[in-house]
Chains A and B, each alone.
Chain A
Amino acid sequence: MAQSSLPPYADTGERVWYYAFRVICGAIFLFLIAPILVIIPLSFNAEPYFTFTKEMLAFDPAGYSTRWYESFLSNDRWMTSIQNSIIVAIFSTILATVLGTIAALGLSQSHMPYRNFIMGLLISPMVVPLIITAAGIYFFYSSVGLTGSLFGIILAHTALGTPFVVITVTATLIGFDRSLSRAGAMLGADPTTVFFKIIMPLILPGVISGALFAFVTSFDEVVVVLFIAPSPEQYTVPRQMWSGIREQISPTILAVATLLIVLSIVLMTVIELLRRRSERLRGMTPG
């Protein structure tokens, strides 16, 4: 079983199991990927249906169109939501990355007191059910007048994004050789110079992947926005999708979904390249 290919001496039972196992795994992989694959061709449907039409199955060009993309691009609501999403995601990513990286630098020092407890605290926004976070933030924002502002959403998304930065940067710092910064200090660099000239270039891959995680978290978050953004002027893309699914499900949503899939493919590729690069730098096998 642990062999990846079938040995020549395998008996019938082993052969059957070998192929059966592959079929099972294939089915599971299909289960994972099918939802993403199905949505892409359907977003080019010429009809307002959520299933494949006869023309589509016959690969008749008449069955396909880009009308849902056009309706997406010409819709003010969607355009506003994209603008909001980008603003919120960029600012919350910057804030989360700065705060998270600095905290990770402290956490990875051996002198850090109550390390486990504080780490647990800093990671908790990731595990606390979003509905509880959203409810808490809703009451808090109502009392300080932050509901209905992009600034409020940015702050909330920063809190949700920091755990990812803390985790990835801490993980990168495990492989960081402290004598490098000591050498820098000994040669006369002040702590800021040491940080920007020595530490930062080395942990950059971790910082960037943490930032991308924070970006995706913000770009995908809908529960908090549901509570603290009452009017469509503050809607983000997922919030707009939420309305789309709940109220009048139109294939425009499939076009948006396809664009989001493309975005996630890009982000995933960047992350993978970064991960392999940092593993190569650490002398591990790329894998």
Chain B
Amino acid sequence: MAESTLQPPVALTTADGQPLKTSLARVERRARIRAFALVVPLLIFLCITFLFPIGQMLFRSIHDPLVVDLLPNTIAALKDWDGTDIPGEPVFAALAEDMKKGREDRSIGKVATRLNFEQSGVRSVITRTARRVAKLEEGPYKEAFLDANKAWGEVETWATIKRLGNRFNTVQYLASVDRRFDTEGNVVMQPEDRQIYVPIFGRTLWMSLLVTACCLLLGFPISYMLATQPLRISNLLMIMVLLPFWTSLLVRTTSWIVILQSEGVLNDILVWTGIVGEDGRVQLIYNQTGTVIAMTQILLPFMVLPLYSVMKTISPSYMRAAQSLGAPRFQAFWKVYAPNTLPGVGAGSLLVFILAIGYYITPALVGGRTGQMISNFIAHHMQSSLNWGLAAALGGILLIGVLLLYWLYNKLVGVERLSLG
């Protein structure tokens, strides 16, 4: 029959009688497992020391159980509150009970601090009221609270407590983009004078773009020079790119302070040459200008190295061909040479931008007030204000941005081609 003629007479088998296909599949699977097994130690190590800690940190941005755990009765009592008017006596009684307990185990301060991040001024309201309430044996509590502080007569205070009554919430992410819930539970912008983070994200993006553009502008000519000079000279010039690359970040930041400060080397030169007067010394550091200058110098090698490696592969005969066909030099350069450098331009710019956007050290040391970037605010909330949830949310947004760019870089350039000099 037609069917049987199409089948091979006997299925191919290995020496031990197994079908070849199964046998091959088994060998390949074994090879895959062996290859994977080599990666496993590092993978596990990074999971424990890197991925898990970051995941755990980011979890704090949505997981906020403090108020639920420490004011359990109040949260339960507020469940049926509609948010239109101040709640009734049962809620006050529940809060009084929670406060008494909070004073006993000294946890009321934590609640006060947490609520204070949401509504500034609440900290003292809570601690003071708690002190008074602790003396009360029994109710009615409502009058006592209202008498202790008029904040208890405001719907907003109660709305703030109720909002944190969920273990999982998006309050911190809203705060990260300068938004908040109003008393009706709608998402609204923060008042004008309390909008901080959207401008900071904007500034971070703007400074990173500026640094990337400066790096491209400065990196392009010298990469071109490195790629077209004879080997002996270009090797020598390459040292000038690699030495900064290898020099400690703090050393370079320090030297920019030394150069740019108002009593520093550059200002001395300017005064000495008479370009500016003794009292006209330029403030070049502890502001945005200084940060951009220092970051450009620090990140420039990351632009030059990929650009150079692309330019080295562009044959000079392309330009000669264009010129011999009648193109003026500049046009030949722009229409023939420049498009060929695009992979390098893309790789370098993307890398510099990725590194710039999360920069912390240089802005922290030379940024002053106007040169601070989002990383510095994350550090501030981590170390000074101790608003860890907000730090985690800001970090989460930054991380998503960086990972998107990293994914793009991996797609366009390939991660194993991250340039290392």
Question: Within 8 Å of chain B (Cβ to Cβ): is A202?
Answer: no
**Which one of A72-80, A182-190, A263-271 is at the B interface?**
A263-271
Question: Within 8 Å of chain A (Cβ to Cβ): is B250?
Answer: yes
Residue of B with least CB distance to A156 = B49
Question: Within 8 Å of chain A (Cβ to Cβ): is B141?
Answer: no
Interface size on A, residues (CB 8 A): 97
9 pairs, CB–CB < 8 Å, chain A vs chain B: A49-B263, A51-B268, A127-B354, A130-B360, A131-B378, A241-B250, A265-B246, A268-B246, A287-B231
CB pair A111–B418 under 8 Å, yes or no, is: no
Binary interface profile of A, 1-34, with partner B (CB < 8 Å = 1, else 0)? 1111000000000100000011011001101111
Question: Within 8 Å of chain A (Cβ to Cβ): is B144?
Answer: no
Docked CA distance A213–B225 (Å): 27
User: Nearest chain A CB to B285's CB is how many angstroms away?
Assistant: 11
Contacts of A265 in B (CB 8 A): 243, 246
Question: Within 8 Å of chain B (Cβ to Cβ): is A128?
Answer: yes
Given A32-B244, A112-B36, CB of A245 within 8 Å of CB of B420: no
Contacts of A272 in B (CB 8 A): 242
Contacts of A82 in B (CB 8 A): none
**Which one of B3-11, B38-46, B78-86 is at the A interface?**
B38-46
Chain B 56-72 interface residues, beta-carbon cutoff 8 Å to A? 56-58, 60
Question: Which of A3, A119, A127, A168: most chain B CB closer than 10 A?
Answer: A127
Binary interface profile of B, 215-233, with partner A (CB < 8 Å = 1, else 0)? 0001001100100111100
Question: Within 8 Å of chain A (Cβ to Cβ): is B337?
Answer: yes
CB pair B35–A38 under 8 Å, yes or no, is: no
CB pair A4–B229 under 8 Å, yes or no, is: yes
Chain B 227-251 interface residues, beta-carbon cutoff 8 Å to A? 228-231, 235, 237, 239-251
Which B residues form the contact surface with A (CB < 8 A)?
28, 31-32, 34-39, 41-43, 45-46, 49-58, 60, 218, 221-222, 225, 228-231, 235, 237, 239-259, 261, 263-265, 268, 297, 300-301, 312, 316, 318-320, 329, 332-333, 337, 354-355, 357-361, 365, 375, 378-379, 382-383, 388, 391-392, 395, 398-399, 402-403, 406-407, 410, 415-416, 418, 420-421
Contacts of B391 in A (CB 8 A): 135
Docked CA distance A268–B238 (Å): 11
User: Nearest chain B CB to A142's CB is how many angstroms away?
Assistant: 10
Contacts of A31 in B (CB 8 A): 218, 297, 300
Chain A 233-265 interface residues, beta-carbon cutoff 8 Å to B? 238, 241-242, 245-246, 249, 253-254, 257, 260-261, 264-265
User: Nearest chain A CB to B58's CB is how many angstroms away?
Assistant: 8
Docked CA distance A146–B254 (Å): 30
From A49, A132, A213, give the contact of B378 (CB < 8 A). A132
CB pair A99–B45 under 8 Å, yes or no, is: yes
Docked CA distance A25–B45 (Å): 45
Docked CA distance A113–B261 (Å): 53
Question: Within 8 Å of chain B (Cβ to Cβ): is A232?
Answer: no
User: Nearest chain B CB to A136's CB is how many angstroms away?
Assistant: 4
Given A241-B250, A264-B248, CB of A106 within 8 Å of CB of B35: yes
CB pair B378–A118 under 8 Å, yes or no, is: no
User: Nearest chain B CB to A58's CB is how many angstroms away?
Assistant: 14
CB pair A140–B378 under 8 Å, yes or no, is: no
Residue of B with least CB distance to A98 = B41
CB pair A246–B365 under 8 Å, yes or no, is: yes
CB pair B297–A35 under 8 Å, yes or no, is: yes
Residue of A with least CB distance to B58 = A136
Contacts of B255 in A (CB 8 A): 35-36, 38-39, 257
User: Nearest chain A CB to B231's CB is how many angstroms away?
Assistant: 6
CB pair B57–A135 under 8 Å, yes or no, is: yes
Contacts of B35 in A (CB 8 A): 106-107, 109, 111-113
Contacts of B332 in A (CB 8 A): 1
CB pair A140–B416 under 8 Å, yes or no, is: no
CB pair B252–A36 under 8 Å, yes or no, is: yes
CB pair A131–B358 under 8 Å, yes or no, is: yes
User: Nearest chain A CB to B180's CB is how many angstroms away?
Assistant: 23
User: Nearest chain A CB to B318's CB is how many angstroms away?
Assistant: 8
Question: Within 8 Å of chain B (Cβ to Cβ): is A137?
Answer: yes
Binary interface profile of A, 47-71, with partner B (CB < 8 Å = 1, else 0)? 0011110000000000000000000
CB pair A2–B382 under 8 Å, yes or no, is: no
From A34, A50, A123, A219, give the contact of B415 (CB < 8 A). A123
CB pair A136–B230 under 8 Å, yes or no, is: no
Residue of A with least CB distance to B235 = A287
Given A3-B316, A52-B265, CB of A125 within 8 Å of CB of B42: no
CB pair A39–B258 under 8 Å, yes or no, is: yes
From B37, B263, B375, B407, give the contact of A131 (CB < 8 A). B375
Docked CA distance A134–B323 (Å): 54
Residue of A with least CB distance to B296 = A31
User: Nearest chain A CB to B368's CB is how many angstroms away?
Assistant: 13
Contacts of A121 in B (CB 8 A): 43, 46, 51
Given A1-B329, A39-B251, CB of A28 within 8 Å of CB of B259: no
- Given A38-B265, A39-B255, A260-B251, 20 additional A-B pairs, CB 8 A: A1-B332, A2-B319, A32-B244, A42-B265, A103-B41, A103-B43, A109-B34, A113-B35, A121-B43, A126-B418, A128-B402, A139-B53, A162-B46, A167-B418, A168-B420, A216-B246, A257-B254, A265-B243, A267-B246, A272-B242
Docked CA distance A116–B411 (Å): 10
Pick the 10 closest A-B CB pairs, nearest first.
A129-B358, A106-B38, A140-B53, A136-B53, A35-B255, A136-B54, A103-B42, A2-B316, A136-B57, A111-B31
Residue of A with least CB distance to B314 = A2
Residue of A with least CB distance to B409 = A127
Given A131-B379, A139-B56, CB of A159 within 8 Å of CB of B50: yes
